[in-house]
Amino acid sequence: MIAEDKPVSQLSSRKLLTVAGFAWLFDAMDVGMLSFILTALQREWHLSAVQLGWLGSISAIGMAVGATVFGALADKAGRRNILLVTLLIFSIGNGISAFVGSLTLFAVLRFFVGAGLGGELPVASALVSENVAVEKRGRYIVLLESFWAGGWLIASILSYFVIPRYGWRVALLGTMITAVYGLLMRIHLRHANDPVKSVTTDTKQTWWQKMAAIWTGQYTKRTFMLWLLWFMIVFSYYGIFLWLPSVMVVRGFDIVHSFGYVLIMTLAQLPGYFMAAWLIEKIGRKGVLVTFLIGTAISAALFGNASSTAMLVFWGALMSFFDLGAWGATYAYSPEQYPSEIRGTGTGMAAAFGRIGGIVGSLLVGYLLTAKVSITWIFIIFAASLIVGALAVLFLGEETKGKTID
């Protein structure tokens, strides 16, 4: 068993954070840009709200498959190799997507892009978690997640300036830069500690054994808690943020103003991450998760009921602040539930189950809007789901602050 509470000497924790963080940033840029592209596609291809919901859900289906498959492969082939493969899959898929003119083909490519995205996120968090000292492990994982806000910010800026003027295809082509970054990442990560390489052949388990292991003994309650947390946070995130530009249009704003207001809300994500990163080693993982999930729930309910533009932007910004801070804590908390030999599988399966929530959340908004359900009630549903996630952590979760992973 590896001593995982000390950082590796070959690669500094900060450098690893930066290298993995930029991969995370590119992931977020794609997801963020999709929310704006869906709004543009609705007008260009005359899509219904239900069709938009399915496009978002297909990405989530791909992420579920990717998290399951690549999470398990990371426990077999190593974190570094799988991290590079997933990055290349979603960058190439995005580039091809810029040239399609068919909704069906665009949806198929979104599945593969989603698979790359879904596989990369839990693998990157596991790699960073295994290479950082125990006393700052939680902070570094939340800081890794903070790159997500940077990606969303870039997506918001590009969408605001590029899509209305040059179209969504040009915006998608810009994401091809991630393929080049994949080569740089391979060079910089060659000295990172990969615990999978240190596990002997005698102790290696098959995928089915690892799947069974996360549901046995002390891991049963942890796995149930994680799956419930992931389902609720992904369900609400995709239901809220993937639809946010479209919701602003439904509220009566034109596409340029809608993109501008979402850009302002996105700026609040960064301080949310930094606050969570500071608190997570002060009050622990559970305290941050419960506080930020409840904060998101309250903000979402008030956002859905806002009657003025100022209140809409204010509660939307606060919702971004708390929700992305909760995401950072979730990624810090998840790898700490399992030992190295099943960490990729356990974290990947939790993320995969969460993506089912993303599928449901994205589809639900499309169907509810078609049924003329008010924005207020839609956001109350998401607020309630976040409360359920907070209660799962509060009553079923164990505090892992300061504890070695194995």
Q: pTM for this one?
A: 0.76
* pLDDT 10s digits, 5-29: 444 434 577 888 888 888 788 888 8
pLDDT reported for residue 187: 66
CA distance 91 to 116: 8
**Domain assignment present for 33:** yes
HSE (side-chain half, CA atoms, 13 Å) at 155: 27
Task: State how far the Cα of 259 lies from the Cα of 77, in Å rounded to an integer.
Answer: 41
Phi, psi of 262 (to 5 degrees): -65, -35
Buried-exposed string 96-112: b where 16+ CB fall within 10 A, e elsewhere? ebbeeeeeeebbbbbbb
Q: How far apart are CA 155 and CA 149, in angstroms?
A: 10
pLDDT 10s digits, 87-110: 888 888 888 988 988 899 999 999
At 235-265, the pLDDT tens digits run 999 888 878 777 777 777 665 566 777 778 8
Round to whole Å and give the CA distance between 204 and 206. 7
Q: Is the Cβ–Cβ distance between 337 and 206 less than 8 Å?
A: no
173 domain-assigned: yes
Question: 160: closest CA among 304, 32, 303?
Answer: 32
Determine, yes or no, domain membership for 103: yes
- Residue 402 placed within a domain: no
Residue 2 lies in a domain: no
Residue ranges making up the domain that contains 101: 13-197+206-396
The answer to whether residue 340 sits within a structural domain is yes
What is the CATH number for 282? 1.20.1250.20
Residue 164 CB neighbours (<10 A): 15
The answer for residues whose C-beta is within 8 angstroms of residue 30's C-beta and 6 or more apart is 90, 94, 113, 117, 151, 155, 175
Average pLDDT over residues 180-198: 64
Residue range 188-203: average pLDDT?
58
pLDDT exceeds cutoff 50 at 83: yes
For residue 45, pLDDT beyond 80? yes
Q: Which segment of 31-40, 109-118, 224-233, 336-345 scores lowest on mean pLDDT?
A: 31-40
State the pLDDT at residue 231. 97
Taking a C-beta distance cutoff of 8 angstroms, is the pair 179, 93 a contact? Answer: no
Task: Summarize the confidence of residues 219-240 as an average pLDDT.
Answer: 94
User: Cα 13 from chain centroid?
Assistant: 22
Query: Would you say residue 401 lies in a domain?
Result: no
* Cβ proximity of 122 and 348 under 8 Å: yes
Give the per-residue pLDDT at 322.
Answer: 96
Rounded Cα distance between 282 and 277, Å, is: 9
Q: Is residue 404 part of a domain?
A: no
Tens of pLDDT, residue by residue over 322-363, are 998 999 899 889 989 998 888 888 888 898 899 899 889 888
Domains of the chain: total:
1
